[in-house]
Structure formats: C-alpha cells, structure tokens
Amino acid sequence: MQALREGLREIDAVIYTHAHLDHVAGFDELRAFCWKKHAPLPLHATEGCMATLVKMYGWAFAPEAFASGYVRPDARIIYGPFRYGDLVVTPLPVVHASVETIGFLFEYRDGPKLAYISDVKQIPDDTMHLIQGVDVLIIDALRRAEHSTHFSLAEAVEAVGKSNAKEAWLTHLTHEFDTETLEAQLPENIHVAWDGLRISL
C-alpha cells in the first residue's frame, strides 16, 4: 500500500538492514515488482539476514518451486561495499538487539553522502568514523524514554552531534511523538522524517 501511495512502479534492488519482522515482513509484496522484470530481483543482505529470509520465505528461494507471479530473488550477500552504477553502498555495522544489524552509507565519488541507520542502540567507533561529516544522516529515535535496543531521542541527538552530520532526519519513531511539537524542539539541522519523505542529494 505504501508503494502504491508513493507511485513506486519499479525497483532496482532491495537492501536489508536486519531480519526483524518490521523490516522483512513485506517480502511477499515484492511479487508485484517481479511480474514485469525479466531478471531476478537483487536482494542484498548480510549472511545471517539472508539465512533468515530463506527460512521464512523458502518457497521463493527454491528454483524448482518457481511459479510465475512469485518473488524471484537474486540473493546477494553483503560482505562489504557494493555499487549501483556510480552509487557506492557501504554497510555500516551497528549494535541493535541480538540480531546482526547494519545501516548503509550511500555516496557518489566526490559527491554528497547519505547515511541510513534505522535500528540502533550503539554506533561502534568504526561506523562513527565512516559517517563523519555526512551531508545527511537518517537515524533511529524510537521515543523519549530509554529503550534496550533503540536510540531514545536524546541518544539520537547526541549521535547526530558526534557524527558532525550537516543534516539529520529522525526515523523509526513511535506514535508517542507529535511531529509538530517534536520538530519545534529539535536543533535546526535535525528534522522529523515522515512516510514517503524524499531526499535529493
């Protein structure tokens, strides 16, 4: 329904951050994006995340079970940075619950950089180094109260400061936030993201 709302007719690939249900349960909806595609759809995930996808959606990964209309995955394990044309995508390991989790850094050579870290409780030094001074940082800010596996609002704001990101957008927000109230309380370079937000670099 979100893809329909946003007029998303085609996708080049899917990249997964981790195998929590709120990030992988839409898998079967990828069918519609495979109908008109002649090649399988590239799915990028860490080894652990891919193993969970295979376990959950085994029918899609079994070539002998292929029926037209199914998701046709081209499973690609993420071992390090990968490219789409001139766009370089670098995985950003983070700490979030017990499941292996990554964010992504998107960059063009000598161009702007955007980091996306949707689920995080702790950003390791190596990852913090990779996102230093990014033009845009999209970051987890679950709620005001502390949480065992997600950044609270205060932790997210602190991480934005540490990263020296020029601009940041808070995401993975609970219903406990009122967007306008929150936006008014944030530093000038931090904003509240919304479903369907498009950011141009």
Quick note: the x/- pattern for Zn ion over 96-135, rule CB under 5 A, is: -----------------------x----------------
Q: How far is the CB of 164 from Zn ion (least distance, A)?
A: 25
Q: Does 20 bind Zn ion (CB under 5 A)?
A: yes
Residue nearer to Zn ion on the CB measure, 24 or 34? 24
Q: Does 143 bind Zn ion (CB under 5 A)?
A: no
Q: Does 22 bind Zn ion (CB under 5 A)?
A: yes
DSSP string, the chain: -HHHHTT----S-EE-S---HHHHTTGGGGHHHHTT-SSPEEEEE-HHHHHHHHHHTHHHH-GGG--TTS--EEEEE-SS-EEETTEEEEEEEEB-SSS-EEEEEEEETTS-EEEEE-S-SB--HHHHHHTTT-SEEEEE--BSS--SSS-BHHHHHHHHHHHT-SEEEEES--TTS-HHHHHHHS-TTEEE--TT-----
Q: How far is the CB of 172 from Zn ion (least distance, A)?
A: 6
Q: How far is the CB of 98 from Zn ion (least distance, A)?
A: 10
Interacting residues toward Zn ion by CB under 5 A: 20, 22, 119
